[in-house]
Amino acid sequence: MRWLRSLFSRLGEIFGKRRREQEFSAEMESHLQMHIEDNLRTGMSPPEARRQALMKLGGMEQTRENYRERRGLPLLETFLRDMRFAFRVLRKNLGFTFVVVLTLALGIGANTAIFSVLESQLWRPLPFPDSERLMDVHTVLHDNRRQWDVMPNSIYRAWSEQNHVFASLGAYNYPSHRNFAAGGTSERVVVMPLTASVFKTLDVPLERGRIFLPEEEKTGGDHVAILGNELWRTRLASDADIIGKPISMDGESYVVVGIAPARLRFEFLPEPQIYVPIAMDPTAKLGRGLYVIGRLGSGVTAESARAELDGILQRQLQAEGVKSEDVAAVTNLRVTWTEFSARSLYFFAGAILLVLLIACVNNAGLLLARGMSRRREFALRATLGASRATLIRQSFAESLLLAFAGGAAGTLLGIWGSGAFAVFWNEDTLPRHTETSLDMRVLLFVLGLSIFSSLLMGVLPALFSSRVDVNETLRKGASGLSASRSQHRTRNLLIAVEVSLALALLFGTGLFLSSFVREQQAPRGFDAPGALTFRISLRGEKYAQADQQRRYFRSLTDQIRGLPGVQDVAFGSGVPLADSNLFDSVAVAGQPLLHKHGTGVVVYAVDPGYFDVLHMRMLAGRKIDSSDTAASPRVAIVNRNATHTLFGGEDPMGKVLEFVADERRDVPAEAPVQIIGIAENTQEFGPIEVPFDVIYVPFSQHPDPTGTVVVSANLPRGALLGAIRDAAYTLDKDQPLFDIKTVDQLIGESMRGSRFDLILVGCLAVVALALVSVGIFGTVAYFVQQRTQEFGIRLALGATPIRILRSAISRALVAGALGLLFGVGASLALGRILGSTLYLVPHEHGGMLYGVSIYDPLSMSLACILLLAVLVLASFVPARRAMRVDPMVALRYE
């Protein structure tokens, strides 16, 4: 540790330099005098004594220099001196400094913002102890496609009883809504059925009370519940005595046994407000499989855990007599929970990095231009003994200082920007409920980015301005010099690079823009301008029977239809774009199964008015009408897409569809239906999806406790909603309305993600355009200024202003055009590489672009034209000065 001590001591010696210098002089002086005295004593003459002593001392200055090098930290001191000097230089050129710092701040700020979003969304550990050992356990098909919602109880039980690789395994269902009665009103709450072991697996102790007991996890066990922390605090005023008392959900009584810890989140799921044991969830029906999570035992890898679970899975499937190609999969829980947003986040991070690159290239151009005009200064300093290394160091000091100023301003911009992100970016796109924050990692990132930028923008100018021909520079003076060929080439190269980077961004924006336009124009297959939709989910003993459900919804729609101003009312199990679809599996009667478990279809149970109110088009056959009752023959309508998938394009009319029972779930298949009509396709989630196969069945034949009501009326929304509420609560005050939205709202929400993408990419493109125009403007302006004298002479000799203009801007334009060419090639290549990996093309319902090719010629030509226009304008404005040069003034420069 001696070196550390001496480092500190040397650091300390940087200060109080002058005093130390004097002290050393005094020490040398006393040394010299003592030596002289000694010499005198040996009998030398005074001059001889002094001469000998000085000789022995080996040259005062050299000794002093050796001593100085050992004292303090020369490297650090030079660095500080360079910085001080750079600061003075930059302060004298405030305009220049401002432009460079602002440019960098934009680039670094945008990157800081996206980095903090990436950090909080993708990389930050989940808020559980030792969370990287938490695994998501599921099954995948043999082609590695994940199956959602299909894990049966038996598999989970086999896994949790037989495995030796997980310290703990827990399971939960996707949360559902229940009506929670408290204080005289009824409220819809999010209820998550889970096993008590979920709390153990996540390693989160309850705030109060206990987790479920084993006997409470069996069907018919006590009705017990663990309250979510937030519900407990807000609705029950943190009442500590609530434990052991009953609460009412869907008209049934549950005993509270515990309070969940604060901030327990399942990230991308709706935040549960109440937890119940998994075994007794009465709504666990089709499409409500288990989600399994586990905590790896110490020293176990995910792969070995997977192998053991797969063995158990295959044995269990065999024992159950199920033929299946499923295999077990074990993946990091954090990665699984965040992966569906990762692609688009990384995509935008890449686009934002482009902006920083443009900013750096831009600044490199500016620094280079300034380096040219400072060549006289550099030459002078070279004559005074500055080495080339010194000059390079000096240049770097300036770009480093600029980069740090940009980094500091960028950090502020980034803090603001990540806030803006959070506002824009809705919960559909961002999985985690984390706050973006400015932590050490973000700051380190900014530091790295600043150093990276200073290197990027500093290296070229430093090399050029340090290579000065002292003699020539000083003789001619800076103004009389025109930049050398290689310097021009470099600056033109910078323009070309900048233009091609900007083109990539503009082209991308064009793609998103035309995708957005196409999404808006895409046929939705339904429409009901101004219509209001809301949902009701019947709960409680009163509505256990299908007949009771039918009767409630019939009287509700009848009552609403009778309200003044209401034009039409329709009812169905759901409406498109509302995320209310039900899924089932079907097969054509008399034909072999197309898939192992039948063909998955979306099922809507609708009433007779449904097709009319939603303006859905029939392609053949009849609509569902009032002749379809519970007692009449069972019928169905298929959409256009389903006729292809199920019938291979043959006429499906009159054919019979069977519902396929899933042997792995305990749900009996419904009776077969006969096809009576074909409907046009509708969007189910939004435009960016592969069309779904949909069948429509009469609600009277397929009642469900949950339904959506569509009301079209010529009333203001508030008045209409009030009247509807009154009608509904007169019917039954315990059944709350929820998801109240107009059809236009549903359509708007389905486009929200695309709109956000467009805004984000558009902002980046605007910034890029601004940067490019500043860069070109600066380059041409500098070029014109350098050649003022030449232009003056040429004008005096009779050159036309147009010729002058042409020679002033031709180089920048040629460089820009080359950049465009290169940019076109690069963008197309980039699109080809990134196209499928980034979901740029529609994929199920998760792509980023709709109906537009990643080689879209229109977007490409528009981007080129726009960039070309900016190029011409940005070079024309400063070049005009060249035409107006007064020959007399220009010549007087000499």
* Pure H helices in 42-134: 46-57, 60-70, 74-92, 94-118
Interacting span for another protein (CB under 8 A) from 69-77, 584-592, 669-677, 871-879: 69-77
Q: CA nearest 334: which of 290, 262, 268?
A: 268
Specify the residue, 6 or 238, whose C-beta has the smaller distance to another protein.
6
Specify the residue, 31 or 441, whose C-beta has the smaller distance to another protein.
31
Specify the residue, 16 or 125, whose C-beta has the smaller distance to another protein.
16
| Contacting residue, 67, 729, 822, 855, with another protein by CB under 8 A | 67
563: helix, coil or strand?
A: coil
Nearest distance in Å: CB 29, another protein = 9
| Contacting residue, 69, 215, 339, 651, with another protein by CB under 8 A | 69
Nearest distance in Å: CB 387, another protein = 21
Interacting span for another protein (CB under 8 A) from 24-32, 125-133, 387-395, 775-783: 24-32
In angstroms, the Cα distances linking 11 to 5, 7, 115, 609 are: 10, 6, 35, 85
Residues from 667 through 696 that contact another protein (CB under 8 A): none
482 vs 491: CA distance, rounded Å:
14
Phi and psi, residue 479, nearest 5°: -70, -25
Quick check: 66 binds another protein (CB under 8 A)?
Answer: yes
Would you give the binding string for another protein spanning residues 42-61, x where CB under 8 A is met?
--------------xxxx--
* Lookup result for tokens 């389903």: 642
867 vs 499: CA distance, rounded Å:
8
Kindly give the pairing relationship between strand 566-572 and strand 706-713. Answer: antiparallel
Nearest distance in Å: CB 38, another protein = 8
114: helix, coil or strand?
A: helix
Specify the residue, 55 or 389, whose C-beta has the smaller distance to another protein.
55
100 vs 83: CA distance, rounded Å:
17
Nearest distance in Å: CB 303, another protein = 53
Q: How many CA atoms lie within 13 A of 449 on its CB side?
A: 33
* Lookup result for tokens 């280079």: 368
Interacting span for another protein (CB under 8 A) from 62-70, 177-185, 653-661, 828-836: 62-70
Percentages of the chain per state (helix, strand, coil), in multiples of 5: 55, 15, 30
| Contacting residue, 33, 471, 521, 861, with another protein by CB under 8 A | 33
Specify the residue, 2 or 88, whose C-beta has the smaller distance to another protein.
2
What's the longest Cα–Cα distance across the chain? 139
Specify the residue, 36 or 430, whose C-beta has the smaller distance to another protein.
36
Nearest distance in Å: CB 461, another protein = 36
**Burial class, 325, CB count within 10 angstroms (exposed 0-12 / middle 13-18 / buried 19+):** exposed
Nearest distance in Å: CB 76, another protein = 15
Would you give the binding string for another protein spanning residues 71-100, x where CB under 8 A is met?
x-----------------------------
Specify the residue, 25 or 486, whose C-beta has the smaller distance to another protein.
25
| Contacting residue, 16, 22, 25, 30, with another protein by CB under 8 A | 30
| Contacting residue, 17, 26, 76, 889, with another protein by CB under 8 A | 26
Nearest distance in Å: CB 54, another protein = 10
Nearest distance in Å: CB 18, another protein = 17
Phi and psi, residue 164, nearest 5°: -120, 10
6: helix, coil or strand?
A: helix
Nearest distance in Å: CB 66, another protein = 5
Nearest distance in Å: CB 71, another protein = 6
Residues from 1 through 20 that contact another protein (CB under 8 A): 2, 5-6, 9-10
Nearest distance in Å: CB 32, another protein = 8
Quick check: 38 binds another protein (CB under 8 A)?
Answer: yes
| Contacting residue, 21, 50, 52, 63, with another protein by CB under 8 A | 63
Count of residues that bind another protein according to CB under 8 A: 28
Quick check: 34 binds another protein (CB under 8 A)?
Answer: yes
Structure tokens at 537: 């989910």
Phi and psi, residue 131, nearest 5°: -70, -15
201 vs 270: CA distance, rounded Å:
20
Residues 6+ apart with CB under 8 A from 572: 604, 605, 606, 607, 610, 699, 707, 708, 710
149 vs 112: CA distance, rounded Å:
37
Residues 6+ apart with CB under 8 A from 243: 208, 209, 256, 257, 258, 259
Q: CA nearest 293: which of 285, 284, 302?
A: 302
Nearest distance in Å: CB 46, another protein = 16
Interacting span for another protein (CB under 8 A) from 31-39, 191-199, 202-210, 502-510: 31-39
Quick check: 22 binds another protein (CB under 8 A)?
Answer: no
Q: How many CA atoms lie within 13 A of 172 on its CB side?
A: 24
* Lookup result for tokens 């075994």: 279
| Contacting residue, 70, 81, 475, 832, with another protein by CB under 8 A | 70
Residues from 395 through 434 that contact another protein (CB under 8 A): none
Interacting span for another protein (CB under 8 A) from 66-74, 182-190, 675-683, 876-884: 66-74
Residues 6+ apart with CB under 8 A from 511: 840, 849, 852, 854, 856, 859
* Lookup result for tokens 């519900």: 231
Specify the residue, 9 or 93, whose C-beta has the smaller distance to another protein.
9
Specify the residue, 28 or 380, whose C-beta has the smaller distance to another protein.
28
Quick check: 596 binds another protein (CB under 8 A)?
Answer: no
Beta-bridge partner residues of 259: 208, 227
Q: What is the DSSP letter of 434?
A: P
Q: What is the CA radius of gyration of the chain?
A: 38
The residues binding another protein (CB under 8 A) are: 2, 5-6, 9-10, 23-24, 26-28, 30-31, 33-35, 37-38, 56-59, 62-63, 66-67, 69-71
